[in-house]
Copies of this chain bind each other. A is one copy, B any other.
């Protein structure tokens, strides 16, 4: 049960972006250098963030990326969804009535994993980029 680096990097990059967002667009090259993430990999990630309207791009020299929403409105849920980092605890297809072992009913632990999934997702829904910014300035204003 581990977090993939795609999800981890996406959040890391967005926190970085949000910090420098005020004045100019932020280039991936800068984020790459500051956070130690491969530039090519960041490009894949931002391509998805853009499709999901979490960031906007500005091309050309002095270009870069800008947040497309208020940091308060960008939940971890949104970010993870954008980069396909999904929480998957059950093995079966949820919408089906069949169980994970191919049987006709859900297995004896299905409800447990479902609870777990909700538990984790709740965490993601209650965290926004804003929270992370405040958190990292050590003390709130």
Contact = CB atoms under 8 A, between A and B. Distances in A.
Taking each of A12, A132, A136, which has the highest tally of chain B beta carbons within 10 Å of its own beta carbon? A12
Interface of A: 1-5, 7-8, 11-12, 15-16, 35-37, 85-89, 91, 99-103, 107-109, 111-113, 115-116, 119-120, 123, 127, 132, 135-136
19 contacts: A1-B2, A1-B4, A1-B85, A1-B86, A2-B89, A3-B116, A5-B91, A8-B100, A8-B113, A11-B109, A12-B109, A35-B101, A36-B99, A36-B103, A111-B135, A111-B136, A112-B127, A116-B120, A119-B119
Taking each of A16, A88, A107, A115, which has the highest tally of chain B beta carbons within 10 Å of its own beta carbon? A107
A130 to B, nearest CB: 13
A87 B109 CA distance: 19
A108 B136 contact: yes
